[in-house]
Each structure stands twice: as C-alpha cells, then as structure tokens.
C-alpha cells in the first residue's frame, strides 16, 4: 500500500476545524487556550452557526482570540464583555453570542457585569478560563489564585490576611436566578476535552433557545505563570485547583 492510498478522506481520523485558521498562536506551549479555541471552532462549524456566532474577546491572554477563529468578533474593554454581549444579543436575538474571558478579566474587574448579565438572564454564553493567575500581564495574583500560591504580586504565597480568599465565580453565577447552566470543566485529558466540548455545546444551544445565561468554567493551567512544565502543571492543577474548584455541573435547568 502506498502513502497516497492511505491519505484519503474516508481514512481521515482527525482534522483541524475549518474556522480555526492557520495564524500562528501566541499562546505558550501547554496552555489550555488553544484547546478551548479548537473546541469552540469545531462546535460552531458542527452546529452550523458560522454566520450566527459572535464572539466577544477579553483583555488578557485571549485578547487575540479574534485572530484565530474566523467568525465576527468584538474586542471588549477589560471585564466588560458580558455588557457588550448583552447588547449584541438583545439587538440581534437570532445570533449565538458568547464571551471568552479569563479569571482576571471576569472574576476581578468584570465581576459586576458578569453577575448582572447572568441575573438578567441574558441569552449569552460565558466561557470562563480559570487558571488562577494573570497570564498576559506577567503572572500576578488573580481573585482565583489559591492560598499559598506564589505569583508576581504574592511572591511569598497568597495570604488570607493580605489578599483574602480565592473567589468561586461559578458558585456565584449559579446562585442568581437568570443563569440556566453553570458547569466546571477542564481540558487536560482527551476525556476531559470531550466533556468540555459537550458542555460548551449545551451552552451554545441554550443561547439559541433563549434559555438564559450559561457559564462554562474551564479550570486551566498557566505553566509559564505557574513556572512549571506543562505536564507538571496538569498534575498540580488536578491536585490543587480541583480541590478548590471541583469539576461538574453546578446548575442545569
């Protein structure tokens, strides 16, 4: 059998989604963003939402998400993505509107917009990447940083008396009446990726069905910020992050 006999469409087992373009990603090796981008691009394609999907990009590492997924995008000011998504969805109700935000963007400066968009039950999807640190600005403490965790602004580890406690955003969003689906996922194993994908799919369906606000938290790694190898980062995440941010659905109505 020749190589060309093998390279046939019917033998193809994997293909990059068409909407994920060939631009060189600026993410660090081992970063979770690339995987989540791929899931989103795959789903938009599979669900036939190419002309309906509108993404709102954050300030943070994913600020350039619009460079990688070929749909219409709006770049938000730091933390304001849910306010922008609110207007976009209300003015174009047939569209599938999602925000893509990190923990600095969503859980610190954007907490107000997040809680209120969810409380109004805006028919939007919030993809929340929680890696417990500010990546883009160089590894400073986020509201989600674990106690004891060393960052650029907690060089001796996060202390309650100095910095307060890690913030569990998903629990807050689940508590408001306007949210319909809140789940916590990860993308560190193929099985986890499959689960995360079906969670995001459900969230996208909710937006189209007008069921309310869906939030999918992806507990992630930041191996650069955490100063660990990608493999060690995954291990550290499972052992430490999952204890504070347990996997699974918090709300599904």
Partner 1 sequence: MKEEVKLMKGNEALAHAAIRYGCDGYFGYPITPQSEVLETLMEEMPWETTGMVVLQAESEVAAINMVYGGAACGKTVFTSSSSPGVSLMQEGVSYIAASELPVLLINVMRGGPGLGTIHPSQADYFQATKGGGHGDYHLITLAPSTVQEMCDFVGLGWDLAFKYRTPAIILADGIVGQMMEKVILPPQRPRRTDEEIKKLCPWAITGKTSDRKKNIVTSLELDTAIMEDNNERFQRTYRKIEKAEKRYEAIGTDNCDFLIVAFGSMARICQKSIELAAKAGVKIGLIRPITLWPFPSEAVAEAAKNCKGVLVVELNAGQMIEDVRLAINDSNMPIEHYGRLGGIVPNPDEVFEALNNQLINK
41 binds partner 1 (CB under 8 A): no
Question: Residue 95 and residue 251: Cα distance in Å, rounded?
Answer: 24
* Identity of the residue, 113 or 219, whose beta carbon is nearer to partner 1 in the bound complex: 113
CB of 8 to partner 1, least distance (A): 27
Residue 80 as a binder of partner 1 (CB under 8 A): the answer is: yes
Residues 6+ apart with CB under 8 A from 79: 58, 59, 101, 105, 106, 108, 109, 110, 111, 113
47 binds partner 1 (CB under 8 A): no
Q: Quick one: 57 or 218, whose CB is closer to partner 1?
A: 57
Question: Which residue from 33, 38, 52, 168 is in contact with partner 1, where contact means CB under 8 A?
Answer: 52
Q: CB of 219 within 8 A of CB of 242?
A: yes
* Residue number with CB closer to partner 1 (83 or 222): 83
For the CB of residue 150, give the shortest distance to partner 1 in the complex, in Å.
28
Q: Does 77 bind partner 1 (CB under 8 A)?
A: yes
84 counts as binding partner 1 under rule CB under 8 A = yes
Nearest partner of 193 among 19, 38, 16, 46, judged by Cα: 38
Which residue of 57, 167, 218, 250 would you call a contact of partner 1, by CB under 8 A?
Answer: 57
- Contact between 86 and partner 1 by CB under 8 A: the answer reads yes
33 binds partner 1 (CB under 8 A): no
Residue 75 interacts with partner 1 (CB under 8 A): yes or no = yes
Q: What is the footprint of partner 1 within residues 90-149 (CB under 8 A)?
A: 90-92, 95, 112-113, 116
Is residue 253 within the footprint of partner 1 (CB under 8 A)? no
Residue with Cβ nearer partner 1 (118 or 237): 118
- The residues binding partner 1 (CB under 8 A) are 50-54, 56-57, 63, 66, 70-77, 80, 83-88, 90-92, 95, 112-113, 116
């Amino acid at each position: 059998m020749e190589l060309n006999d093998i390279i046939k469409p019917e033998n193809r087992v994997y293909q990059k989604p068409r909407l994920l373009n060939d631009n060189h990603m600026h993410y660090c090796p081992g970063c979770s963003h690339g995987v989540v981008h791929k899931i989103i691009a795959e789903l938009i394609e599979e669900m036939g939402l190419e002309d309906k999907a509108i993404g709102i990009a954050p300030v943070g590492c994913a600020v350039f998400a619009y460079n990688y997924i070929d749909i219409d995008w709006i770049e938000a000011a730091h933390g304001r993505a849910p306010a922008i998504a609110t207007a976009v969805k209300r003015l174009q109700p047939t569209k599938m509107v999602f925000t893509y935000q990190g923990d600095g963007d969503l859980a610190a400066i954007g907490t107000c917009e997040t809680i209120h968009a969810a409380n109004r039950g805006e028919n939007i999807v919030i993809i929340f990447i929680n890696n417990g640190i500010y990546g883009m600005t160089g590894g400073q403490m986020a509201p989600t940083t674990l106690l004891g965790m060393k960052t650029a602004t907690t060089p001796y580890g996060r202390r309650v008396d100095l910095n307060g406690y890690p913030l569990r955003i998903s629990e807050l969003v689940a508590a408001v009446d306007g949210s319909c689906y809140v789940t916590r996922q990860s993308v560190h194993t193929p099985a986890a990726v499959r689960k995360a994908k079906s969670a995001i799919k459900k969230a996208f369906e909710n937006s189209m069905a007008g069921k309310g606000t869906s939030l999918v938290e992806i507990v992630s790694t930041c191996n650069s910020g955490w100063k660990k190898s990608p493999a060690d980062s995954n291990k550290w995440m499972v052992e430490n992050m999952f204890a504070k941010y347990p996997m699974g659905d918090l709300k599904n109505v």
